[in-house]
Amino acid sequence: MGKSNKESNVAPAGGLIDVSSHKVLVANRGEIAMRIMRACVKLGVAFTAIFTKEDTASGHVRLAKELGGEKNLYRVSSYHDANELMAVADDAECTAVHPGYGFFAEDFRFARRVSKRDRKLIFIGPSWKIIRELGDKINTKRLARSLNVPTVPGSDRPIYDEMEAERIARTVFDFQVQQGIKRPLVLVKASAGGGGMGIEEVYDIDNFRSVYRRIRNYAMRQFKDEGVLIEQRITDFNHLEVQIVSDRSGKNPVHFGTRNCSIQSTGLQKRLEVAPGFSPDEINYSFDARKVLDDIVHYSLTMARKVGYDNVGTWEWIVTHDGSPFLMEVNTRIQVENGVSARIASVKGEGGVDLLAEQIRIGLGEPLGYNQQDIAFNGVGIEYRLIAEDPDNRFTPWAGLIERFGWQEKPWLTMHTHVPTDVPYEIPTEFDPNLALAIVWGENIEQAKDRGRLFLDSLELKGCKKTGGELKSNVAFLRQKTAGILQF
Amino acid sequence: MLNVTEMLEEIKNSPYREIEICAPHTGRVNFAAIQQGSKVEGPHGLWKEKPGTLLCTLDRERNPKPIAAVEKGELCLLHSELEGCFVEAGTRLAVIRHLLTRDEVQAAILKKALHLFTAPERAKYYFVPEIDKKVRTSGSQSVTVKDGMELFIMSRMKREVPLVYTGPAGLIYAVYFTHTSNVDAEQPLIGVCPPDQLAAIQEVIMRVQTEWTEQG
C-alpha cells in the first residue's frame, strides 16, 4: 500500500492502472505541498510545484527543486488564481491537480473546470458533484437529516438580509430557552469562511445586529461573499472527526478512525489533535464513549455510502457533555491533521500509512485494495500545530524572522515543516504563521503525553521582529494543554 | 526647514526613474511591433482612460492580456528573446526610462515635508468605513485627523485589527497605500499636513510648479 509497485497497481476487480504515467500539479504551498511532493515520489508519480514571490524562501520551493528540479517549479502570481494553475498545468504537461487543503480544495467550480476543460485533468479529491453536495453546509444538513443523522439547529442557507438574519437568531435563542439552556448563545459565521475564521458569538439578541454587520463586512472583504450563517452555539463540547477514505468506485468507503480536535484557539482554530477521538479504556467518561465513537463512524460511513464518496474526506462532529453527537460539516478534502490518524493506523499489518499517498493513488484511479477489516489501530497520536502567535493576546499572529528552529529526532516523532532549519526565515504576512506540525506517537496516553512534553521542552525556536520584540509562539500553550488531552 | 531649491537641484541632476515591466502572471509572451530604444507613451487622456503604448500581450488560458507602458519614456531594455515563451509571474519583460513629471517631483518633495504616519507591520491597510466613505466622495484632503483617532483597519493573516493614528492633527494631504497591496513595515500610509504648516506646504507646491519644467 502507498507504493506504485506492480502489485498495488492491480485492481482487485482486475483493472490495471499505471499511476506512474501521471504528473501531478501541486497546487498549494508550505508543508502540505511538501507532503504531496514526497507522496508523489513514493508512488513514482512526477509532479510540478508552484510558488509565489512571498514564498521564495519557503521549504517547499527548496524541496521542489531537490525532488523535481528547477524545470518543475513555476512562480505564479497567486495560489488563488485558477488560470495560473491551469496554464502551468498545461505548460508542464500535468495530468492531475492536487489542491492540498485551503485554496481550491473545496471549490467545486474549480474541480469541475479541471475535469471538464478541453485538456482534461484529474482533480485529486472527490468528484465536483460530491464537493458541491457536501461542501454546501446546508445540503449536508439536509442529507444528514434525511438519514436520521443528528445536526446542529440553525439556518439552512446563507443569509443576506439583516431582517431575516435577526428573525432566525431570535428563533434559535427561543429554541434554546425552551430547551432549558440557561445561557443561550448564537453563532454568526461567514458562510464562505472556514477554518474558524469569521465566527462570532452573540450572547444577547440586542447585540445581534452589530455582530451580524461586522461579520458580513468581514466576509465581504475576505471572501467576496457577504452570506452569513446563524446557528445555535453549543458550549461545553468536544470536537471530533472521522477520517474517511474511499476509491473512485464510491462503493466501499473505509474509515481511518476518529480524532479529537477540541483544543483550539479562542478563534476556534485547531491547535492540538489527538487520535483516537476518545480513549474509553484509559479514561472514564460520563457517557458511553465507545458507543459515541461507533455512532459517529457509522453515521459518517452511512453518508459517504449514500453520496458515493470517492476520495478522502472528514466528517466533523460536536459531542456534547451528555454524549450526544451532532454533525457539524463535512470537509471534502485532505485535512491538516490527517497525519495523526495515519500515525496510529496500519493496513494489513503494515504501519507507515500515508494518507496523502493513498489520496493520490485512489484519486488517479487505483482501487483501494483493502477493506475495513484490514485496517487496525495502535496507540495514541498527538499532533501539535506550532504557530507563531501570542496565546496571551487572543492568539494574535506574529510575523517576523525565525532565526533558529531545531528539534531532536526521535523514532516516535514526525515533523512536517516548510521553515528551513539551516537559514533564517522571514514569515510572510500573506499567510497564517504556521511553522510546523509535530506528530508524536505513544503506546498509550501517558506515554504520548510524556513524549509530547519531551519534544516541546527540547524544541529550539527563536526569532525577532524588525521593529523589535521577540518571537511569540504557542509552545507553552501546547505544553499546558497536553496534560488534559482526551478528557471531557 | 525644507530646502526646496536644494532638493530640486538634486532631482534635476538625475531626473529619471527606471520602471521594470514584469509579467503580472504566467503566460505566453508576444511582443508588439516595438524595439529597444523606442519612445513609449504612458496612459493618457483627461482621465488617463487611454492605455499606454502596447509592449506585449501575455496569453494565458486563451485570454490575451495586453501589457502597456505605465509611464511615458524610452524603452531602454526589451527582452525580445522571450518572444513566444511561456513565462513565470514576475519575469522581467522590459525597462522604461522615465523622465519625472512635475507631479512626481512634487509628490517626492511633499513626502519629505509632510508628517508621515507609517505602517507598524507589513499588512494591508484600509481606512475605517466612515473615513473611507469620506475619502471616496470628497477626497483625502477633506479628512482631518488627530492623535488617538481610530483611522485604519490593519489586515494580515486574515485577522483585522484597528489601528490608531498618532501624530499631529491636520489634513490628510497624501495617501500612500491601496487596498490591494501590502505595505511594508515603516513605509508611509498617509502624509499629514498640520494647519500651521499649510502655508509652507503650499509654498513647496508653488515652487515646484514654477521651477520644474515639464518635458513635452
Check CB contact under 8 Å for B126 and A83.
Answer: no
Write down the ipTM of this complex. Answer: 0.83
How much is the pLDDT for A196? 67
Whether residue A148 is contained in a domain is answered as: no
- Contact yes or no for A137/A327 (Cβ under 8 A): no
Enclosing domain of residue B21: 15-99
Q: Which three cell numbers stand for residue A374?
A: 484490514
B66 touches chain A (CB under 8 A): no
User: Among residues B99, B124, B153, which one ends one of the domains?
Assistant: B99
Compare all CA atoms of chain A with the CA of B58 and give the residue at the minimum distance.
A87
**Residue B16 Rama label (left phi>0; alpha psi -120 to 50; beta):** beta
A217 contacts in chain B (CB < 8 Å): 129
| In a shared domain, residues A46 and A177 | no
Select from B61, B129, B157 the Cβ nearest to the Cβ of A86.
Answer: B61
**Residue to substitute from A71, A88, A91, A431, interface B, most B β-carbons within 10 A:** A91
Domain count, chain B: 2
How much is the pLDDT for A21? 94
Compare all CA atoms of chain B with the CA of A73 and give the residue at the minimum distance.
B88
Select from B24, B89, B122 the Cβ nearest to the Cβ of A399.
Answer: B122
A113 contacts in chain B (CB < 8 Å): none
How much is the pLDDT for A154? 81
Whether residue A147 is contained in a domain is answered as: no
A76 contacts in chain B (CB < 8 Å): 25-26, 88-89
The domain that holds B132 is classified in CATH as 2.40.50.100
User: Among residues A232, A258, A290, which one ends one of the domains?
Assistant: A232
| In a shared domain, residues B174 and B146 | yes
B186 touches chain A (CB under 8 A): yes
Q: What is the pLDDT of residues B101-148, one digit of tens each?
A: 988 999 998 998 899 999 998 899 999 999 999 999 999 999 999 999
Whether residue B216 is contained in a domain is answered as: no
User: Among residues B54, B73, B99, which one ends one of the domains?
Assistant: B99
Burial class of residue A396, CB neighbours in 10 A (0-12, 13-18, 19+): middle
Q: How many interface pairs between A and B have CB atoms less than 8 angstroms apart?
A: 73
A467 contacts in chain B (CB < 8 Å): 120-121, 185-186
- Contact yes or no for B173/B193 (Cβ under 8 A): yes
Whether residue B7 is contained in a domain is answered as: no
Compare all CA atoms of chain B with the CA of A118 and give the residue at the minimum distance.
B61
Domain count, chain A: 3
User: Among residues B66, B99, B132, which one ends one of the domains?
Assistant: B99
The domain that holds A308 is classified in CATH as 3.30.470.20
State mean pLDDT over A207-214: 93
| In a shared domain, residues B119 and B198 | yes
Is residue A333 part of the annotated active site? The answer reads: yes
Q: Name the catalytic one among A35, A248, A333, A385.
A: A333
Helices (H), A319-383: 338-343, 355-363
The Cα–Cα gap between B197 and B203 comes to: 10
How much is the pLDDT for A195? 60
The domain that holds A111 is classified in CATH as 3.40.50.20
State mean pLDDT over B26-31: 97
| In a shared domain, residues B57 and B138 | no
B184 touches chain A (CB under 8 A): no
How much is the pLDDT for A219? 87
| In a shared domain, residues B136 and B93 | no
Whether residue A132 is contained in a domain is answered as: no
Whether residue B10 is contained in a domain is answered as: no
Tell me the nearest-neighbour CA distance from A430 into chain B, angstroms.
6
| In a shared domain, residues A170 and A295 | no
Can you name the residues that pair with A404 across neighbouring β-strands?
A462
State mean pLDDT over A43-59: 97
**Helix/strand/coil for A398:** coil
The domain that holds A206 is classified in CATH as 3.30.1490.20
In percent, how much of chain A has pLDDT > 70?
96
| In a shared domain, residues B146 and B93 | no
A75 contacts in chain B (CB < 8 Å): 26, 88-90
Tell me the nearest-neighbour CA distance from A38 into chain B, angstroms.
24
User: Among residues A232, A252, A277, which one ends one of the domains?
Assistant: A232
The Cα–Cα gap between A25 and A487 comes to: 41
E-state strands within B81-140: 86-87, 92-99, 115-118, 124-127
Q: Scanning the structure block, which residue is given the C-alpha cell 525597462? A: B95
State mean pLDDT over A305-327: 95
Whether residue A23 is contained in a domain is answered as: yes
**A8 pLDDT band (50/70/90 cuts)?**
very low
Whether residue B163 is contained in a domain is answered as: yes
Q: What is the pLDDT of residues A408-438, one digit of tens each?
A: 999 999 999 999 999 999 999 889 999 999 9
**A158 pLDDT band (50/70/90 cuts)?**
confident
User: Among residues A232, A267, A292, which one ends one of the domains?
Assistant: A232
Enclosing domain of residue A319: 237-482
Whether residue A135 is contained in a domain is answered as: no
State mean pLDDT over A53-73: 94
| In a shared domain, residues B83 and B107 | no
Check CB contact under 8 Å for A91 and B129.
Answer: no
How much is the pLDDT for A14? 41
How much is the pLDDT for A225? 84
